Amino acid sequence: MVSYGDLLISSPELNELMINGRKGIDTLSKSEYLQFSNLALKACWYLSDGLFMYQMKSISEDDWHELRTIAVYWCMSKGFQEWWTTLGRLNFTGKFAAFIDHEIELANSSK
C-alpha cells in the first residue's frame, strides 16, 4: 500500500481524481471513471491479498488493522460504493466480497 500512496503523492492529478471519484462517480467523465475504477480495483487487490494473508496468519493483527482501516476509508465513500455495486463486486468473490459488503453496510449504518 506504500507504493499505492506514493503513486497518488507523485501525481496530484491522480490524487484529485481519487478524491473526486470517492465523492461520487456521476461527476466523472468516462475517462476519469475508468481511471478511478482502476484505482479502486488496485486498492481492492491489495486489500484482498491482505485479508488472505491475515486469514492464513501470515500477517499480524496490527498489520491487518492498518489494512482494514484503508478498506473502511474506501467503503465509507459514496463513489466507491457506487463503483463496487456496478463493477467492483463482479471482480471479487468469497470472503473478500463479503468483507467489503459488510464494511459498506457498517459505513452506511453509522451515517
DSSP letters, 32-90, are HHHHHHHHHHHHHHHHHHHHHHHHTT-S-HHHHHHHHHHHHHHHTSHHHHHHHHHTGGG
Q: Which domain holds residue 11?
A: 2-109
Higher pLDDT, 111 or 109: 109
> Distance between CA 24 and CA 17 in Å, rounded?
11
Give the count of domains, the chain. Answer: 1
Examine the pLDDT at 97 and tell me if it is beyond 80.
Answer: yes
DSSP state of 41: H
- The pTM score is 0.89
pLDDT band for 110, please (50, 70, 90 cuts).
confident
